[in-house]
Amino acid sequence: MYSLRELRREDIPIINKWRNDPELISHLGAPFRYINEEVDMLWYDNYMKNRNSTVRLAMTDESNVILGLASLTNIDNINRSCTAHFMIGEAVNRGKGLGTFAIKEILKHAFMNLNLNRVELSLLSTNTVIYLYKKIGFTVEGTKRKAAFKNGSYVDVIEMAMLKEDYYEKYEKD
């Protein structure tokens, strides 16, 4: 059984290992950087100081060990919007339903608890996971041409979003 819980300091060494994995980072918009653990500890400290505008959750199974990260950043209390990010650390844990669970669960949190109205996300045009986001209910809103420099070339970045009304229509209608 999968669940989400807030990120803990003890998760940082595992996350640091993932962030130094070129294969995983190749799927994401952010560039690959060598990151030492101290930098990731500071990143965590910064999150602790900014919990009003950021939600960082660990995806876990029964063992409660972190398997992936699900986050809401840039929480904007005037426009009621935020940006979502998802990653599962080890390839062996992908494709088994964990991502679907985590995405739906954090959307529920965003719309039903935080009273947000819009959840945005960006993904590389090379990332086939767009299929999953569409299935969950995100809409493509546009393409930023050559917006990311990845592995030596520029890649288009696709912008997607889900509104609270889309969420209600799909998941809360009955």
Ligand X SMILES: CC(C)(COP(=O)(O)OP(=O)(O)OC[C@H]1O[C@@H](n2cnc3c(N)ncnc32)[C@H](O)[C@@H]1OP(=O)(O)O)[C@@H](O)C(=O)NCCC(=O)NCCS
From residue 77, how far is each of 60, 109, 110, 114, 138 by CA, in Å?
29, 15, 12, 10, 21
Residue 144 found at the interface with ligand X (CB under 6 A): no
In the complex, the smallest distance separating the C-beta of residue 18 from ligand X, rounded to whole angstroms, is 9
Q: How far apart are the first and last CA of the chain?
A: 25
Query: Which residue stretch of 12-20, 48-56, 84-92, 148-156 sits at the interface with ligand X (rule: CB under 6 A)?
Result: 84-92
Name the residue with the smallest CB distance to ligand X: 99
> Binder to ligand X among 17, 80, 94, 144 (CB under 6 A)?
94
Residue 17 found at the interface with ligand X (CB under 6 A): no
Nearer to ligand X, 52 or 128 (CB): 128
Residue 108 found at the interface with ligand X (CB under 6 A): no
User: Of 122, 123, 138, 130, which is closest to residue 171 (Cα–Cα)?
Assistant: 138
Query: Which residue stretch of 14-22, 71-79, 108-116, 119-127 sits at the interface with ligand X (rule: CB under 6 A)?
Result: 119-127
Cβ atoms of residues 120 and 161 within 8 Å: yes
Both structure tokens of 58: 């660990």
Cα(146)–Cα(60) distance, integer angstroms: 34
Query: Which residue stretch of 9-17, 33-41, 88-96, 161-169 sits at the interface with ligand X (rule: CB under 6 A)?
Result: 88-96
Residue 23 found at the interface with ligand X (CB under 6 A): no
Residue 128's φ and ψ, nearest 5 degrees, are -70, -5
Cα(9)–Cα(20) distance, integer angstroms: 18
Residue 96 found at the interface with ligand X (CB under 6 A): yes
Residue 129 found at the interface with ligand X (CB under 6 A): yes
DSSP-assigned letter for residue 11: G
Residues that bind ligand X (CB under 6 A): 27-28, 68, 86-88, 94-100, 121, 123, 127-129, 131-132
